[in-house]
A = this chain, B = another copy of it.
Amino acid sequence: MARPDGRAPDQLRPVTLQRNWTKHPEGSVLVQFGDTWVLCTASVTEGVPRWRKGSGLGWVTAEYAMLPRATTTRSERESVRGKISGRTHEISRLIGRSLRACVDLKALGENSIVLDCDVLQADGGTRTAAITGAYVALHDAVSWMAENGSLKSSVEKVMHRSVSAVSVGILRGEPRLDLCYEEDVVADVDMNVVCTGAGDLVEVQGTGEQDVFNRAELDALIDLGAAGCAELTRIQREALS
């Protein structure tokens, strides 16, 4: 069974990372995984939330959202509904945890960075594209801090790891990398893999809502995801150089 866009099962969609896409943020990256486009901005503020004051540690958090018509049919704005959906909450938390794994919060000092990941166009894998793009925006923001003298450590010390993420899944028994929406909705098993540039795991979230999965399938998905993340790490490095 061929993939909708003719890719090999272990092939990523075309990935681009455009830095400085908008002019105001300290980091601003438009990440594209095929037709999935996410604008990732990093906003630096001096100081940390009240519960963290005096700890000497910085804070990194993330907020994810979709434009109402990023998808095939329009969804109501969460601002209009007056509350954030469970899905949005869950993804924002995943992005935040993943990015905190990159950062030495002590070296960051009592500064805060908010990563806003707004999906302009969705075609599957928005959360993993967001993590991959947000890493680059975060790196730019930390570099901006260094240039502006608001960082006591070096950029390398603060950004002690890199992270990237990709979705993998099983369709009719075949493990596939970087699912597009058409594949995502029919996958039996769906997994998001977040890795460091060194190949370690940061998060693994595998779900078998359509079907359960066995240990061999889990292993195949982890392998595929780790290989995808390695390729994304390469693309991130290129973009940052």
Q: Scan A55-89; emit 1 where CB is below 8 A from any B CB, else 0.
A: 00000000101011111111001111111111111
Q: How many angstroms between the C-alpha atoms of A241 and B236 in the bound complex?
A: 40
In the complex, which residue of chain B has the Cβ closest to the Cβ of A163? B212
Query: Which residues from 205 to 241 on chain A have a C-beta closer than 8 Å to any C-beta of chain B?
Result: 205-209, 212-215, 218, 222, 226
Q: Does A202 contact B (CB under 8 A)?
A: yes
Instruction: Given A86-B90, A215-B222, verify A22-B120 contact (CB < 8 Å).
Output: yes
**CB-based contact B74/A68 at 8 Å:** no
Query: Which residues from 11 to 68 on chain A have a C-beta closer than 8 Å to any C-beta of chain B?
Result: 22-25, 28, 35, 37, 39, 41, 43, 45, 63, 65, 67-68
Out of B83, B89, B114, B214, which one reaches A90, CB within 8 Å? B89
Q: Which residues of B contact A83 (CB under 8 A)?
A: 79, 82-84
Q: Which residues of B contact A65 (CB under 8 A)?
A: 77, 79
Main secondary structure of the interface of A (DSSP, over half): mixed
Q: Does A152 contact B (CB under 8 A)?
A: no
Q: Which residues of B contact A23 (CB under 8 A)?
A: 35, 121
Out of B70, B206, B218, which one reaches A22, CB within 8 Å? B70
- Give residues in A with beta carbon < 8 Å to B: 22-25, 28, 35, 37, 39, 41, 43, 45, 63, 65, 67-74, 77-90, 92-93, 97, 100-101, 114, 116, 118, 120-122, 161, 191, 196, 199-209, 212-215, 218, 222, 226
A-B contact list, 21 entries, CB within 8 Å: A22-B69, A22-B70, A23-B35, A24-B72, A41-B67, A41-B68, A43-B68, A65-B77, A68-B114, A68-B116, A74-B116, A79-B83, A89-B90, A97-B209, A100-B209, A161-B212, A200-B213, A201-B214, A202-B208, A203-B206, A203-B207
Return the 8 tightest CB-CB contacts between A and B, nearest first. Answer: A86-B89, A78-B79, A200-B212, A43-B74, A41-B69, A79-B79, A89-B89, A204-B206
